[in-house]
Structure 1
Amino acid sequence: MKKTLALFCLSWLLLGRAFGYDFVVAQDGSGQFRTVQEAFNAVPDFRKKVTTIFIKKGTYKEKLILAGSKNFVKIIGEDLNQTVLTYDDYNQKKNIFGEDKGTSGSSSIYIYGGDFSAENITFQNSSGPVGQAVAVWVAGDKARFKNCRFLGFQDTLYTFGYGSRQYYKNCYIEGTTDFIFGSSTAFFEDCTIFCKKGGSFVTAASTPDSVRYGYVFKNCKITGETPAASYYLGRPWRPYAKTVYLNCELGDLIKPEGWDPWGSESNKKTAYYAEYQSKGKGAAPKQRVPWSHQLTAAEAEQYSRDKVLRNWNPTLD
C-alpha cells in the first residue's frame, strides 16, 4: 500500500513538473492537492530553490498561512478572475475564546516566507463593509505580486513587515478606509487603485523613522465609484509615514488638499508626502497642503525602483 501511494505521488509530481510546476492544486482532484494550504505545507522547509505551485480555477475558501520556513514559493493562478483565495474574518469577529480577532487576525492569507511571488491570483476578504478586514498580510521580505487582484473594504492590503520590500506590478487593489497600510517599503507600478463608496483614505503608511522609503506609486491610476473630492491620497498611521506618487493619474475623487495629518500637527513635520507630475482631475498641485511636496525631476529620480527596493530587482526570476 505504501509503495502504491509513493508511486502515485511521484507520478503526480512528475506530471506537474512536465508543465513547469512543482505542485498543482485543483478542487476536482486533478492535481496533487485539493487545497492551497496542503500545497504550502508540502513545500520543504528552508528550500533554497523556487517551489512553483499552479492553482487551477476555483474559489478556495481557506485561511492561509505561508510559514516563515517556506521560502521561494511562487503561486500561479490558472485565471486571474476565476482563481480566488478568500476568507471572511474581520476585526470584531470572535475567536474561540470570545475575543475580537483584531485587524491582524482578520487576514485571509498570511505570508511570512521570504521571496514569495504570486501571479494571476485574486486575493479576497469577503466579509463585506464590517470594519477592518484584511485580504492579504505580508511580512516576508522580497514579496512580489504580478497581475493580481486584492478585494476588500477597510484595510484590504496590510504591508506588515518591518523593513520588508514588496513589489506590485499590474495589480488591482480596491477598498475604502486606509486600504493600503503598514510599515513595509512597497513599490506599486502600473496598478489600478479603486476607491469604493464611502470616501476616506487610500493609504495609511506607518513607515519607521529609520527607513528612507515607504510607499511609492509609479504610473498608477487612482479611480473609483465615489463622489468627487471624497478621498485623501494618504494619512500617517505613524509619525514618519512616507508616500510618493509618480506620474499617476488621479481621478476627481481625490480631495484638492491631497493629504491629511490624522489629527496631529506634529505629523505635518515628520510625515513625508510627495507627488511628481500627477495628472487627471484629481491633480491639484497648487491646492495641496503646504507641508506636502511637489518633486522636481532630479528629486523624482531618487524614487526609482532600484533605489526604493534597495538593489533588489523583482522583475528577474
Structure 2
Amino acid sequence: MKLNWIFLWVGFMVVSGTFAQDFIVAGDGSGDFKTVQEAINSVPDFRKQRTTIFIKNGVYKEKLVLPASKNNVTFIGEDKLKTIITNDDYASKLNQFGEQMGTTGSSGFFVFGNDFTARNITFENSAGAVGQAVAVRVDGDRIVFENCRFLGHQDTLYPHGKNSRQYYKNCYIEGTVDFIFGWSTAVFDECEIFCKDHGYITAASTDEETEYGFVFINCRITGDAPEKSFYLGRPWRPYAKTVFVNCFLDKHIKPEGWHNWGSEDKEKTAYYAEYKSHGPGAALTDRVSWSHQLTDDEAKKYTPENILRGEDNWDF
C-alpha cells in the first residue's frame, strides 16, 4: 500500500514550501483562484495525469461539484483545522422553485470523478440539527480521504456509489442519525467516529451481490452522547453490511449494538459483525442474536487491501 509514504512525502513538501501544485486556491486572492469550484472547472476534462489543487487556509462557503469528467484530482489543504469547505443546505430547505432540496440535494460536495484524493481538509455541513444535511456525497471509484474532517449532524457522509470503493485514513467523522450511510464499499482505517446527541452511526444499503459494505478497522468510536444512546448501525435496505474490527467503543454504544429498522425481515439479510471490540460499549454478550462475532479466521479477510483491491488491483 503506497498511501502512507506518499502522505509523508506530501506533508514534507508542503511544510518545506516546495510542494508542486498545479493550482492554488486562496480566498484572499494570493493564489490562482479564489474559490475551489473555479479550480475544479479549470481541470481539463478526462485528463490522464493527476491534477493537484492546493487550498490555503480559509473558510470556503461553496457548493462543490467534481464532475465525472474530472478524474485524477487531488485536494491538499494547508491545515485540516483551518482549511474548511462548508455549506448549510438541508433536505427540507426550499430551492428557487419552492421545492425541497431532498437529502442528495443538501450535499455540500458531490464527488463524481474517479481517483479523487483529499488530504488535510474539513468538509462541513453547518445547517445544524434540521434533519438530513449532507457534507459530502461520493459516487466516484477509487476515492481516498486522509487526515480529513467531516462535520455535521444527520446524514453527514454519503458514500453513495454502488460500485464505488472508498478509503478513509485517520479521518474524523461526526454526527447524530445515520451519519455514515449509503451503498458504497468504504473502509475507515484508524478514524475517530464522534457521536452527538443520540442515534445510529451507520445506515448501510449494500447491494446483495456486493461483498463488503462499511468496514471500520482500528477506529475509536467516541462522542459526547449520553450513555447507551447510540446503535452501531441499522439496515437502510436489505443486505446491509457493516463490520467493526478491533475498534474502541465508548459508553454511549447500546449493549444490543444493532437495530433492525423495525423489520424482522432485514435481520435475515443484513450482515452486522464485530471482531475484538473493546471499551465500555463492547458488551458483546448482550448483542442482538442476529449479529456476528467474527472468528480469527473470518477476521483475516478484513484488511483494506483485500476489501478494496478489486479486479483492477487498486493500489491506494
Tell me the TM-score normalised to structure 1 length.
0.92
What runs of 5+ residues in structure 2 fail to find an aligned partner?
1-16
User: 2:38 is matched by which residue type in structure 1?
Assistant: E
Q: Is the 8 A contact 1:167 1:314 kept in 2?
A: no
Question: What is the 5 A alignment of 1:9-158?
Answer: 19-158=19-158
Question: What is the 5 A alignment of 1:1-317?
Answer: 19-197=19-197, 199-311=198-310, 316=316
Deviation at 1:306, TM superposition (A): 1.6
Equivalent position SS for 1:168: strand
Q: Deviations over 1:197-256 (max 9, x none)?
A: 2x1100000000110100000000001011110000000001110000000000010000
C-alpha spacing 1:314/1:125, structure 2 compared with 1 (3 Å)? farther
Q: Is the 8 A contact 1:178 1:200 kept in 2?
A: yes
Deviation at 1:19, TM superposition (A): 3.3
Could you list the runs of 4 or more consecutive aligned residues of structure 1 that deviate by over 2 angstroms after TM superposition?
310-316
Equivalent position SS for 1:243: strand
Deviation at 1:302, TM superposition (A): 1.6
Equivalent position SS for 1:239: coil
Deviation at 1:315, TM superposition (A): 6.6
Identity, in percent, stands at: 63
Equivalent position SS for 1:43: coil
Deviation at 1:18, TM superposition (A): 6.2
Higher share of residues assigned strand: 2
User: 1:225 is matched by which residue type in structure 2?
Assistant: D
Q: How far apart, in 2, do the equivalents of 1:314 and 1:94 lie?
A: 40
User: 1:20 is matched by which residue type in structure 2?
Assistant: A
Q: How far apart, in 1, do the equivalents of 2:18 and 2:304 lie?
A: 34
Aligned to 1:4: none
Q: How far apart, in 1, do the equivalents of 2:118 and 2:314 lie?
A: 12
Q: Deviations over 1:164-219 (max 9, x none)?
A: 1000000000000000000000000000000012x110000000011010000000
Aligned to 2:5: none
C-alpha spacing 1:314/1:29, structure 2 compared with 1 (3 Å)? farther
Tell me the TM-score normalised to structure 2 length.
0.93
Q: Is the 8 A contact 1:144 1:314 kept in 2?
A: no
Structure showing greater Rg: 1
Q: Is the 8 A contact 1:168 1:191 kept in 2?
A: yes
User: 1:132 is matched by which residue type in structure 2?
Assistant: Q
User: 1:192 is matched by which residue type in structure 2?
Assistant: E
Equivalent position SS for 1:179: strand
